[in-house]
Amino acid sequence: MNTVKQGAIELVLCDMDGTLLMPDHSISPRNFAAVKALQAIGVHFTLATGRPPRGMRDQVKQLGIELPTAAFNGGVLVSADGSYLQSHRLPYEAVRKTLEVLAHHSEVEVWVFADDEWLLRDPHGPMVAQEQNSLGYAPRVVLDFEQYGQRVDKIVATCRNVSLLAELEHQLQRAFNDQALASRSQAHYLDVTAPRANKGDALVTLANLLGVPLERTMVIGDGGNDPAMFHRAGLSVAMGQASQEVRQQAMQVTSSNLEDGVAQAIERYVLKR
């Protein structure tokens, strides 16, 4: 772990699934209280997630967040009224290449997010019910994704075979040649996004909008899409249940999301200072 390099924290950017949220997608009372305590003393708090904008509205409302949020790993910045401030879509060639690679693996479910819709071909896939429960809305079934190829915000490959997804992650990273990014937001989810759709660039943009120096920012996360913001923040905190690879890229490690790790980090590094 690196040495903490920030002064007083003015902005906290937090991941959602596996970080702020419990496994049932709820916000624990302690995490909720910690966020409200930040807001009460004037510290900015907002979210950066792999979810689509529609999949974070309930939590934004619950927490009373009035700042822009980062969806699709930073591919879309969304204002409090739901309008898009910034959007980075996948290049068509990257969309085509991704779908071509994934088509060779029948056990992998492929989801495409475009036009504010969650698109898929098989509504009975083993991971669909879980995702619908998480996002809070149903997918749209399509025969193919071709008509959406120029308007894709994110592609997700998901299956129970974690080793296969890790292999596909490396395969796509090699194939893209800077056209796109492939990273696992969770063990069973492989996200493909535009090159600038990353939480590090999102942090920089949000900090600039709020007039906060990067050295006065804190970020918290647990997945393979979070080190991008770890490397830009004044203070980076990994969740206790994150993989060793992710934890090693953060300056500090807190407890797991089952143990209110977000609240512990906020209390220790912001409120007590």
Catalytic residues: 15
**Order of all β-strands in the sheet with 84-87:** 69-71, 76-78, 84-87
Q: What is the CA angle 77-79-85, rounded to 5?
A: 50
**Amino acid (one-letter) located at 23:** P
260 contact partners, CB below 8 Å, separation of at least 6: 28, 30, 31, 34
CA 107, 160, 194: angle at the middle one, nearest 5?
80
Return contacts of 205-211, CB within 8 angstroms, 24+ apart: 205/77, 205/86, 206/11, 206/13, 206/46, 206/67, 206/68, 206/70, 206/77, 207/11, 209/68, 210/10, 210/11, 210/44, 210/67
Structure tokens at 171: 């395969």
3-class secondary structure, 155: strand
Amino acid at 171: Q
The helix/strand/coil state of 68 is coil
Query: Dihedral sign, CA of 252, 255, 258, 261?
Result: negative
